[in-house]
Amino acid sequence: MKSFNKDYLVKFARFNQWEKEYEANKTEQQRISEFFHLFELALQLPADIREKAHREHMKNLIADQKRLGKVKNKKVKGKSQGQAGKRFMVLNIAGSFTDAEQWDIEQQISMTPNERLKVLKILQDRVYGKDARDIRECQLNI
Q: Does any domain span residue 92?
A: yes
Q: Is 81 contained in some domain?
A: yes
Q: Distance between CA atoms of 36 and 50, rounded to whole angstroms?
A: 16
CA 28 to chain centroid, in Å, comes to 19
Is residue 142 in a domain? Answer: no
Does a structural domain hold residue 53? yes
The answer to whether residue 32 is domain-embedded is yes
Cα angle, residue 21 at apex, residues 18 and 22 outer, rounded to 5°: 80
Q: Judge whether 98 lies within some domain.
A: yes
Q: Does 138 reside within a domain?
A: no
Cα 83 from chain centroid? 26
Residue 33 lies in a domain: yes
Q: Name the residue range of residue 115's domain.
A: 2-130
Half-sphere exposure of 5 (CA within 13 A, CB side): 5
Distance CA 69, CA 108 (A): 18
pLDDT on residue 84? 43
Q: What is the pLDDT along the chain (142 residues), one digit of tens a residue?
A: 567 677 877 887 888 888 888 888 888 888 888 888 888 888 888 988 888 888 888 888 887 777 665 544 333 334 444 444 454 556 778 888 888 888 888 888 887 888 888 888 888 888 878 887 776 776 665 5
Number of domains in the chain: 1
